[in-house]
């Protein structure tokens, strides 16, 4: 998967690294500010039950 992504990106290796870093930051931003708060409204970590 990573090799295919590396081959699809344009430019020399240093441009590819910059693009991948920007994509990683964008994914992490989306997770921390949108996905994780939405999931925390659904799942309550304090509500633990042992069966």
pTM of the model: 0.71
Residue 33, exposed/middle/buried by CB under 10 A (0-12, 13-18, 19+)?
A: exposed
For 22-51, write each residue's pLDDT tens digit: 999 999 999 999 999 998 888 877 777 776
Q: Is 46 helix (H, G, I), strand (E, B) or coil?
A: coil
With beta carbons less than 8 A apart as the criterion, state whether 9 and 19 touch: yes
> Which band of pLDDT confidence, cut at 50, 70 and 90, is reported for residue 18?
very high
Tell me the C-alpha distance between 41 and 49, whole Å.
Answer: 18
Residue 42 Cα to chain centre, angstroms: 20
Q: Tell me what percent of the chain is helix, strand and coil, each rounded to the nearest 5.
A: 75, 0, 25
Q: Where are the domains of the chain?
A: 2-40
What's the average model confidence in pLDDT over 1-22? 91
């Amino acid at each position: 998967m990573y090799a295919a992504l590396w081959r699809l990106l344009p430019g020399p290796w240093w441009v590819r690294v910059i693009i991948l870093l920007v994509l990683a930051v964008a994914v992490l931003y989306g997770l921390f500010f949108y996905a994780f708060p939405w999931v925390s409204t659904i799942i309550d970590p304090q509500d633990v039950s042992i069966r």
